[in-house]
Structure 1
Amino acid sequence: MKKLLLLCGLCGIIGCSKVNAQTELKVLQWNIWQEGTMVPGGYEAIVSEIARLEPDFVTFSEVRNYHQTRFCNRIVTSLREKGKTYYSFYSYDSGLLSKHPITDSTAVLPEKNDHGSIYRMVASVNGQQIAVCTVHLDYLNDAYYNVRGYDGSTWKEIPIPETVQEVLAINDASQRDDAIREFVKAAKKDIAEGRMVILGGDFNEPSHLDWTRETKDLYDHNGLIVPWTVPLILDNNGFVDAYRTLYPNVLDYPGFTFPSDNEKVPTQKLAWAPKSDERDRIDYIFYYPHPQLELKNAAIFGPQGSIVKNQRKKETSKDPFIEPLDTWPTDHKGVFVTFLLKR
């Protein structure tokens, strides 16, 4: 009996670091700007950074399936050549990778005419079923550009809306609200069946938590406090914005993900409104609270530089950054969140 107890104790000690490592669940949201094809060496940089960070899940935006092959499958093959095993769910416009075998996958909202997409997969981690979804929402009718004096459809200069009601009317023309309601509907089924739910994506819309009284005269918000609707819908349905939860001070931790500076690309290709300060946080990771899922930390993944009025600007915020090793493959910055998965 003593021998048996001793062996069990040794197993606990020897396996301790492995057990602890398995309790961390890392999620990367990354808009890769047409699969990195806009930047020399972009695809290779995507592969290298994923191999370096080893996220459990990756939610991609701007997947195009170029090269006559499915991008996510191609990434899986490239990662395998680096000794990293991943699984993928086929998609278009957005995509999903998992370090864990995928047990289910569905197209919640297939991409149609640039109006966005939502895909869902389920994986088992430490015996826990986790539903991970990715979105890349409608990039037409982006009302936050109108606030800066640009038409988000044709990218022409226009008079700036004077009221929040005008802005929300423009915003309502997009299909983002309808899309996110489809996600909520699907997620509620997962929640009812006991699954954890995580959502990552490029929402093409700022947050109501960012366009506040504190920021109304900054970043060319032009004095407006806007209750942007997509993050608000998620908030009202119990979903948690991981980054803003850890860093609620919007002045010290703005968390901008677009437009990202990229030394390999001319500035005029990195911004849609070159005469405006269009910095925003439009890439997010949300999750639904679960007793066995604990938010641990979050960081912005990418260079600290942004594009402000067609000029390169290094951010002086307190945002935590994971900086790239070499080539940055996109005009967005990613979001990297670590959860603790309790046993």
Structure 2
Amino acid sequence: MVEDGIYKIVKHIKIVDPDIVALQEVDTPDILKNITKRLGGSWAAHSGSAIYSDVGILTKHKILNNGQIETLRNVTASPFDQIRFNTNKTDVNRNSAISTSILLDSGLTVSFWTLHLDYRSYGPDAANNKLVTSKDTIIFGEDNQTPECRVGEVSEVLNHEIFQKSLNEADTNPVILCGDFNAPSHLDWIEENKELHGGWAIEWPTSKLLTEQANLTDSYRKIHPDPIKEPGNSWSTVQKFYGPEWGYTIPLQQDRVDYVFYRGARLEPTNSFLYAGTEEITPIPNQFQNDYPSDHYAIVTDFAIKPSGDGS
């Protein structure tokens, strides 16, 4: 909700100049085409087939046709959604995850995945509710034993045959998985800082599944292992207070909910940082003129590519 938002997205992609970008909350594939056209050069886009594509991948390198999957979810369509998606349906499909293979100019092929997990039942809200007395109550918001919860969405990706194949080949063709998880990390909510988290130390299940079941590495925590010195809160740039019903006076819990995970012997993270441009960011409700267009910080990770065993 900023002036000239698409222009500003393109501006900041050009400033950072990444090889691959994972996007979330992408309304339609046409928006991706608009962004790539404005980026110019060899930029290409990949999105899902849902009415609400939601997630997208941009890259300066070659998108291969092999290894592509998508997961679909139904979401309740508001009257505004029905207008913007040109549908009379009360629900619309959205992609919660897509993947593709990307051939880098170096000759290395990367299996690249982007996720946007469900935003409802946000865990930190429950953890900071003084009436909540059970950790099970908090975790239920993450895992309610249905496919629609965050654990269900991550599990669908983890159990997919293409993802399993990608993991098995990761030392040759590395895996990178990015996204907005709408959930904190089990590496962050520890005993030593629980006073910042409503008094709780919680092993948040989505990040734990990826690191322990899929053996992926959280690139930000690899570079910044101490969550007390470097909390890395990616949410939010502008959502600092609860809304107008409270006069924007009650602080919102800030947390790290965006991640770049990786696996593969040929990748080594050399840097990982939050990015929101250099200009001052004004919180909601006065954000309209902000230069940086997102309510999340971007998480940027630089990787070095190590030689393969055969020297290539």
How high is the TM-score relative to the length of structure 2? Answer: 0.78
Say whether 1:256 aligns with 2:246.
no
Deviation at 1:74, TM superposition (A): 1.1
Distance in 1 separating the partners of 2:229 and 2:26: 32
What is the CA-CA distance between 1:86 and the residue it aligns to? 0.7
1:266 and 1:245, CA in 2 relative to 1: closer, same or farther beyond 3 A?
closer
Are 1:41 and 2:19 an aligned pair? no
CA distance in 2, matches of 1:234, 1:51: 30
* 8 A contact 1:116–1:137 mirrored in 2: no
Equivalent position of 2:186 in the other structure: 208
Q: Following superposition of structure 1 onto structure 2, how do residues 63-212 of structure 1 map, counting pairs within 5 Å?
A: 63-65=26-28, 70-80=30-40, 84-91=41-48, 92-104=53-65, 106-113=68-75, 117-125=96-104, 126-149=106-129, 160-173=131-144, 175-185=149-159, 186-193=162-169, 194-212=172-190
Q: What is the 5 A alignment of 1:252-331?
A: 252-261=229-238, 268=243, 275-288=250-263, 290-302=264-276, 327-331=291-295
- Aligned mates of 2:165, 2:10 — CA distance in 1: 33
C-alpha distance in 1 between matches for 2:194 and 2:250: 18
1:337 and 2:301 equivalent?
A: yes
Amino acid in structure 1 at the alignment position of 2:74: K
Q: Does structure 1 conserve the Cα–Cα contact (< 8 Å) formed by 2:73 and 2:96?
A: yes
Q: Offset at 1:184?
A: 2.1
Tell me how far apart the structure 1 counterparts of residues 127 and 63 of structure 2 sit (CA, whole Å). 42
Inter-CA distance 61–196: structure 2 relative to 1 (3 Å threshold): same
The one-letter code of the counterpart of 2:96 is: S
1-side partners of 2:8 and 2:241: how far apart? 19
Distance 1:137 1:116 in 2: 10
Larger deviation, residues 164-173 vs 38-47 = 164-173
C-alpha contact 2:46 2:58 (8 A) present in aligned 1:
yes
Cα distance in 2 for partners of 1:334, 1:90 equals: 19
Contact 1:163 1:224 survives alignment (8 Å)? no
Q: Could you tell me how far apart the structure 1 residues matched to 2:26 and 2:296 are?
A: 14
SS class of match (1:258): coil
- Three-state SS of the structure 1 residue aligned to 2:6 is helix
CA shift at 1:199, angstroms? 0.7
- 2:202 aligns with one of 197, 216, 226: 226
Where structure 1 has 5 or more consecutive residues not aligned to the other structure, the ranges are 1-37, 150-158, 313-325
- After the TM superposition, which parts of structure 1 deviate over 3 Å for at least 4 consecutive aligned residues? 265-269, 303-308
| Distance of 1:238 and 1:74 partners within structure 2 | 36
The reply on whether 1:50 has 2:13 as its aligned counterpart is yes
Which protein has the larger Cα radius of gyration, Structure 1 or Structure 2? 1
Work out whether residues 293 and 342 of structure 1, in 8 Å CA contact, stay in contact via their aligned partners in 2: yes
Secondary structure of the 1:216 match is helix
Q: What's the offset of the Cα at 1:307?
A: 9.4
The aligned residue for residue 6 of structure 1 is none
Contact 1:116/1:138 (CA < 8 Å) preserved in 2? no
State the percentage of identical aligned residues: 26
User: How far, CA to CA, are the matches of 2:250 and 2:285 in structure 1?
Assistant: 10
